[in-house]
Structures are given as structure tokens and as C-alpha cells.
Structure 1
Amino acid sequence: MSRASEIQHKLQLMRQALQATQATGIRLRGTDWFAWATAGACHTVLLAAETGVAEVLVTLDSAWILTNEIEAQRFQDEELGSELAEHYKLFVHPWSDPDAAETFIQTVTNAGSLISDRPAATESPLPAILIQHKRILLPNELDRYRRVGRLASEAMTEALLAAEPSWSEYQLAGAGAEALWSRGLHPALTLVAGEKRLPRYRHPIPTQELLGRVAMLVFCARGYGLYANLTRFVCFGSLTPVEADLHHQVQQIEAACLNQARPGTALSQVYEVLAQAYQRWGYPDAIQDHHQGGTTGYLSREVIATPTCSEILTANMAMAWNPSLAGAKIEDTFVLLADGSLENLTFDPTWPAAEIAGRLRPLPLER
């Protein structure tokens, strides 16, 4: 499937949604949906924003990318390309007159009803079936995801091979971000904990604390709109027996989760298996200390698993689980294949690993 064919397919899905809802137009504002609808184009300027400098507008007989005059030339030169321009027209409005875009939308939709991923007061949400389509990867999307995962894992390895115990957490986060940017990936999230803070916090925003003897680095790396999520540890010297055992326990807890994550399984069932695994290893309350992950893709987590989550895993969905204990965590991004197997998108063959339940899983890097 070419990029043009992928976009055409997605336009058909959006027009089916219009027919099902009897709306006259669909607006996609979010970074996740913009990347999905354009087969990986980027409208991001402010990295932390959920929306960008352009949006998608689709009607039953036409489709546009709406942006302002600041961004238009770059979109034409670097984002649209011939395949995207084949299906989307570009509407450009003055940056000083954002109402011009609203007027244009009202005109081309005959002031009809609109559906949107980020609905305004007069708009309605997207139908569930279209949201489900976004979460199931097409072959083209999976190919792009493999590239993002490989680059993200290489960036992780580069950063942790360069790290020194005298570095601050800020320095390691910066090295990780640099390694991602140099590969064309957005460092949407870089968490770091050194020896002092590692046992205390599950979401360690980097600080000026020194790394010390052991450190954790976490990435949510975005490319083509897709998120590669992974966690790795470095130890300057050797792990103590207690530390090695803690990582072993987390690997076993994760194995129970990965064994359960099969097509047709509800995320609530995977959550329950995780809860039971924590219980078996003597940590009955650990599941409350941090979310355990869930499905991923065009969001760092499309759906987070909870005890009541009804989301059903389907072939070609991506997932990222992150079971943890105080001082140990494990995380990679997998895609669930039709035969029920898991393909690890963030596996770096140069990173130390052990076979756990038939899968190669990362070990702390001992330097």
C-alpha cells in the first residue's frame, strides 16, 4: 500500500463516519489524528501541545488541510508531497484572522453539523468505530512504527552508553533528547531517576540530582505521529543481589501480562492478571503505585488498562506495558500480530537481554 492509497483508505473511513452520523464535515485538530489522517505528516510546532498549526477538514466530496500563512510554504515544501497533495487541498488563512478558517468551514459544509476529535461547543465527538480504526495499524503504519521503534531504542542505547555517574539527571535527559532529535524523533517524554530518587518515584521528572551508581531512563519518542515507549537501566558497576532479584521479579510480572495479551482479550483481563502476579510475588498493593500501561500508537497510551476497561485487544494493535516495583521497571512497545505473537518494536539487539517466557527482555546495563 502506497502512502496515497493509505490516505485514500482513511478518507473512505472518515466519509463512512460522516454518513453514519449524518454530519456534513469532520475536523481533526489533535496531533494524533492529524498524523493518522495524513499518513504521518506533522503539524507540531509546540512540542508539548495536543494540537498543532494545521487541521484536517473532510466532507463527503472533498478534503483540506487548513493552516495559516506562516506555515503554508513549509507544508507545501516538506509535509504535503505529491501523495498527500493528491487527496488534500491546502486552505491558507491570514495568521491574524483565525476566523477566516471558521468562515471557510461554514461555507464548504453549508453550516451543517460537524464531528471532531476535539469537539467545540457546537460539534459532536467522533464515532467509536472510527476511533477503533485509528488504533489498528495498517501495514504502512506498522512499517513506519518499526522504524520509529528501532531509532528510539538506538537512541536509548547511545545515551546510556555515554552516561557517567557524575552526570546530573538533567544531563542524562538532555543526552537522551539529543539522541532522539538527531534521529528525527520528538522527545515527547524523557524521565530520569538516579540512585537517590529511583526507589521513591514512579514518574521521576529529571532534576539536578547526580545519577550515582544506578539510573533509569524512560522515553516516549514520537515519529510520524507514532509513539515508541521504552525504559532502560544503567548500573555503574554490578547490581547487588537484591537489585538483580528485584528486576527479575518485575520481568516475571511482565511475562504474565504479555502471555495474557492476546487478540480478543479485554484490557481489564490483562490488568487482573497483573494484579494477581503482583500478589504472587508478595506486592499486593504495588499495582496502585503506577498505571500498568495499555494500548499505544498515535498517543503514548491510547487506552490505559484499568479493572473496568472494556477495550478489546485486536490484531495489529500496539501496546506498551510498564509494570514496576520500587527501584525496578520494564517497558517496551509491542505490536500484537494476528497469530497472537508479539513483535517487539523497541528491541535493540546490542542491549543485554535475557530470555523470559520465550521472549528476549532487557536487563540493566552493567558498566
Structure 2
Amino acid sequence: MNELDQKLEAIRQLLENSQLDALVLRRVSSFAWATCGASSYVNTASELGTATIVITQDSKYLITNRIEAPRLSKEEKLEEQGWTFIVDDWYSEQTSLSKLIVGKRVGADFSSKDFVDVSIDIARLRSRLLLPEQERFRQLGKICAEAMNAAIHKITPGQSEHEIAAILAYETESRGAWPIVDLVAVDDRVYDYRHPLPTDKRLSKYAMLVLCGRKWGLVCSITRLIHFGKLPEDLAIKQSAVANVDAALIHHTRPNTRLSDVFTHAIHAYKQNGFADEWKLHHQGGIAGYESREFFGTPTSQEIVYEGQAYAWNPSITGVKSEDTILVGADNNEVLTDITDWPKIEVDIDGHKIYRPAILEIS
């Protein structure tokens, strides 16, 4: 059974279990998942795309307008996938949707008074990556790692955060991925903000670059930090501590483990490394996929870790952060965004050596 058929089978099982007649998918992430990597967005900041998918027990429809239909057909090759196109004028496509689902009990991947909200169920399906998706994620991880490495080695003191962000965006887009998150902080802003939108502030000694790159609908996350000159002692202590926390998260993210239990290990690692309350200052990441995080890890999360899922943990201690995207395998976890020649910190957990990125020091 190919990738598309496996997904349609899962959707139709959801319809049966939820006693629904049809499913409407409009989110950019869900569209990409259901179509095996196609793009329905024009505005990359939009959560909802310019095409709507409707799936019943025996049919699959794609509703869009005359502007988008040619690209979706010719470049995304969705007619070849067997989708029945319903093409409207740009000002009337909601009419076709209404006609298609009239009298039916319908679920959707977004909140609406007209539909049953099954967005959580769809997020769970999106997060269970099939083998072709895992291979695409590997390729995306390599793209993001190469982009980050190339960008950070082009940074020099005196550049503004905007200039650094532009370099990171260029290196990402030139490799075929879209930087949906491109955050940069320099010097004191690394300490002040966990989500630093770039500003005109110019680099003196210390910078943090954060990238979420999207391709085939999948989203891969990576963070790296660079320091010009000898690393201050407080940063050296913090980078060691955050590496230990990240290693604990990665080590315990194994199949059949409850996400809350993984999180408990992280909380313990924060405390053990002398920064007990830092986890409260920023989310720690979680399950990745067609959203940068399909589900966040929390102390009460009931989600279960499955083989084939991707995770992007991002523990932080004020002034430092550690973030890569990993793929959960049967025997071990694979770091998809590893940069081979990047300086690393070795962490030993239960006899297992886990390597986390250090701050790159430039003398």
C-alpha cells in the first residue's frame, strides 16, 4: 500500500470511529500531509491554505479556485494522485463546499460551528510518520543543518540581527526549504528573550540563531549559538547544564513512553544541574511533523512516543539553548539536524553517550 492509500485508510478509519460522513481539511499542515507533501499556501504565514480537501468513505475531493488549480494540478500533480478537482471562481468556492457536504455529519481540522473539531485526531495522524515521510524529514534535516552551518560561519561582529537573519534565510531558501521561523538575538538580547524577532541591534560578541525550515510540508527545527572570544565562565556552566537537560530529553524519548514521563526527566535534569525553575520560563518543545510542534511536552501530557515520530526538544537556560530535530527509531534516536564538525558536549546517561552542540567559539 502506497503512502497516499495508507493515509486515506487512516482517515476513513477516523470517520468510522467518530461516526462522521466526511472530513474537511483546510490547514496548510493537513493539506501537505494528506497529499504527501503538496503546498496549498500562498501567504506563508497563513494557517489555512487556498485549497480545501474533502474526504468521504468512497471519494476524495479538492476544492480550489481558478487561480490555484493549474499549479496544484501541473506542479503538485494532485490530479495524478486521483483527487477530484472542483474548481470555482475565487469569489464563490465556499458554495461548492456547502453543496458537497449538505446533509452530512462532517469533521474538520479547524474550529467551526458547522463541523466537528477533530484537529487533535488529525495532529496525531500527522505525527505518525510513514517511511517515505521519514526519508523526506532526513533530507530536510540535512538542508536545515547545512543552512545553519553556512550562515553562522558568515557572521561577523558589526552585523545587525536583520542582516544575520537575511543570511540564514538565504542559506535556507537557496537549498529549497522555507524559513518559517528565523529568529536572531545578539549579546544581551540572547539573555532577555526566548523568541527574539530580529532587530537593528548589532553584534558584538554573542549570537543565537533559530531556524524552523519547511519543505514538503514538514517542519524541522535547529538552534545554534556563536561567541567571538573566550566564552565567559557563566556561559560555559550554562551550556553544559542545558546540554545535560537536552540529552536527558533525547535519551528518554523512546517508543511507548508517555510524554509527561519524558518531561519529568527533563525537570529532574534542570534541578540536578542547578537551574531548577528555568523550565518554567519557556516551552521545552515536543512532537514535530507538519507543524513545528504538533504537541508540546508538558508535565501532564498524555501523548505517547511512537517509533517513526520526530521530536524537536529545545531546553533553555537564560542565555543558552539547545535544539535539534530527532527521529525516534526502533533501537535509537537519530539526530536529523546534526552538524558533523560542530563542537559538541558529551553527556553520559545510563552508559549511553549523547552528544549535544556546544557554543561555537571564534577566537
Is this a same-fold pair by TM over 0.5? Answer: yes
Cα shift readout 1:76-109 (whole Å, capped 9, x = no counterpart): 121125xx62321221110022333224423xxx
The share of aligned pairs that are identical, in percent, is 37
Q: What pairs with 1:211-230 in structure 2 (closer than 5 Å)?
A: 211-230=203-222
| Structure 1 residue 140 displacement after superposition | 0.3
Question: Are 1:68 and 2:65 counterparts?
Answer: yes
**Maintained 8 Å contact 1:94/1:100:** no
State how far apart, in whole Å, the 2-side matches of 1:55 and 1:99 are.
Answer: 10
Question: Are 1:350 and 2:334 counterparts?
Answer: no
State how far apart, in whole Å, the 1-side matches of 2:341 and 2:100 are.
Answer: 51
State how far apart, in whole Å, the 2-side matches of 1:329 and 1:131 are.
Answer: 27
Letter in structure 2 aligned against 1:279: K
Question: Are 1:287 and 2:279 counterparts?
Answer: yes
Cα shift readout 1:16-69 (whole Å, capped 9, x = no counterpart): 222222322111011111111000111111111111111211111111221111
Moved more, 127-136 or 233-242: 127-136
State how far apart, in whole Å, the 1-side matches of 2:286 and 2:98 are.
Answer: 40
**Maintained 8 Å contact 2:64/2:93:** no
State how far apart, in whole Å, the 2-side matches of 1:131 and 1:325 are.
Answer: 29
**Maintained 8 Å contact 1:8/1:87:** no
**Maintained 8 Å contact 2:157/2:203:** yes
- Aligned partner of 2:80 in structure 1 is 85
Residues 269/149 of structure 1: CA separation in 2 closer, same or farther (3 Å cut): same
Runs of 5+ unmatched residues, structure 2: none
Q: What pairs with 1:303-342 in structure 2 (closer than 5 Å)?
A: 303-339=295-331, 341-342=332-333
| Structure 1 residue 168 displacement after superposition | 0.7
State how far apart, in whole Å, the 2-side matches of 1:47 and 1:128 are.
Answer: 22
Question: Are 1:46 and 2:43 counterparts?
Answer: yes
Match 1:102 to one of 76, 79, 97: 97
Match 2:130 to one of 133, 138, 144: 138
Residues 185/35 of structure 1: CA separation in 2 closer, same or farther (3 Å cut): same
State how far apart, in whole Å, the 1-side matches of 2:120 and 2:182 are.
Answer: 31
**Maintained 8 Å contact 1:336/1:343:** yes
State how far apart, in whole Å, the 1-side matches of 2:70 and 2:270 are.
Answer: 53
Runs of 5+ unmatched residues, structure 1: none
State how far apart, in whole Å, the 1-side matches of 2:59 and 2:231 are.
Answer: 60
Residues 160/128 of structure 1: CA separation in 2 closer, same or farther (3 Å cut): closer
Residue 64 of structure 2 aligns to a residue whose secondary structure is strand
Residue 199 of structure 1 aligns to a residue whose secondary structure is helix
| Structure 1 residue 128 displacement after superposition | 6.0
Match 2:256 to one of 244, 264, 277: 264
Cα shift readout 1:165-200 (whole Å, capped 9, x = no counterpart): 111111111111111111121111111110121111
| Structure 1 residue 137 displacement after superposition | 0.9
Residues 225/203 of structure 1: CA separation in 2 closer, same or farther (3 Å cut): same
**Maintained 8 Å contact 1:226/1:297:** yes
Q: Please, what TM-score do these two structures have when normalized by structure 1?
A: 0.93
| Structure 1 residue 129 displacement after superposition | 5.5
| Structure 1 residue 328 displacement after superposition | 0.8
State how far apart, in whole Å, the 2-side matches of 1:324 and 1:99 are.
Answer: 44
Cα shift readout 1:201-253 (whole Å, capped 9, x = no counterpart): 11111111112101000011111111111100111233223322221111112
Residue 38 of structure 2 aligns to a residue whose secondary structure is coil
State how far apart, in whole Å, the 2-side matches of 1:236 and 1:131 are.
Answer: 41
**Maintained 8 Å contact 2:260/2:297:** yes
State how far apart, in whole Å, the 1-side matches of 2:118 and 2:85 are.
Answer: 23
Letter in structure 2 aligned against 1:191: L
Q: Please, what TM-score do these two structures have when normalized by structure 2?
A: 0.94
Cα shift readout 1:280-315 (whole Å, capped 9, x = no counterpart): 122221111111111111111111111111111111
Cα shift readout 1:101-134 (whole Å, capped 9, x = no counterpart): 224423xxx5211111114212112286554332
- Aligned partner of 1:360 in structure 2 is 355
**Maintained 8 Å contact 2:108/2:119:** no
Residues 77/281 of structure 1: CA separation in 2 closer, same or farther (3 Å cut): same
The number of residue pairs the alignment matches comes to 358
CA RMSD of aligned residues (A): 1.7
- After superposing on structure 2, the runs of 4+ consecutive aligned residues of structure 1 that deviate more than 6 Å are none
State how far apart, in whole Å, the 2-side matches of 1:184 and 1:52 are.
Answer: 20
**Maintained 8 Å contact 2:227/2:361:** yes
